[in-house]
Structure 1
Amino acid sequence: MHIALWVIAVLLAGAFLVAGFSKVMSTRAALAEKGLTYVEDFSDGSIKAIGWAEILGAIGVILPAFVGGLQWLVIVAAFALGVVMIGAVAVHSRRGEKYTTALVLGALAVFLGVGRIVFGF
C-alpha cells in the first residue's frame, strides 16, 4: 500500500504543480483562451491564490515525508487539496461544466490523506 500511496502522491504533485504554475504564470485572459472559462468568475488575485494553494499542496504531499517529524504535513496538504477540489467541483457544476477531473483529483487527495493516517509513511 505504501507504493500505491507514493504513486498517488507523485501523480497529485505533478498534476497540481502544472495546474498551479499555469494559474500563477498566466493572465486570466490567457487562461480563458485555453478553455478555462471558469476564471471569468474570479478576480486575478483569486486565480493566483488558487494557483499558489495548488503549488503548496503539491509540495506538501511530497516534501514533508522526507523531513523527520513533519510527516503530518503530508496529511494536512492532502486534505487541503481535497478541499480545493471540492470548491472546483462546486464551481464547475454551478457553471454546467464537466467536473470529473476535479472530482477524481479530490478523491485521490482524500484517499492519500486517509491512507497516510491508516498506513503511515
Structure 2
Amino acid sequence: MHKQHQRWGWQVRAGVLVAGALVAVACSSGESILDAGLPPPDTVPVPPTAGPDGSVATTIPATTTTTPLADLPPCPIEALEEASGTVELTFWHGMNNELEDALTELTNEYNAGQDKVRV
C-alpha cells in the first residue's frame, strides 16, 4: 500500500506540473514581450556624412534633448516658505549597489544640512 501511495503522489505532482504548463502556454500570445502591444517607435533616417578622409559614416541622433534653463518655466519656491512644517519628499529611483549607497549618502547629507525638506 505504501508503494502505491508513493506512485500516486508522483503522478499527482506530474499532473499538476503538466496542467500548469498548459495554462501558461494557453495564456501566451506567442509574440515577443518586447512588443507589449505598443506601436513601433518612429524612426528617422540618418543622412550619411563624409569624414575628413572622404569616408562616409552614419551618425545616430541623440535619444534625449537638452533644454536651456532660460527656456524652462519659472520654478517658484515661495510655497516652501509658507509650509507649516518639514516637507516630506519621496524620491523613487532604480539604482542599486554602489550607486544606491552614494545616493543615500548624498540624501543624508542634504537632509542634515537643512530642516525644511526631508527626502
Does the alignment reach a TM-score above 0.5? no
**TM bucket by the smaller chain?**
under 0.3
Larger RCO, structures 1/2 (Cα 8 Å, 6+ apart): 1
Q: Tell which structure's C-alpha radius of gyration is larger.
A: 2
Higher strand share: 2
TM value normalised by structure 1 = 0.24
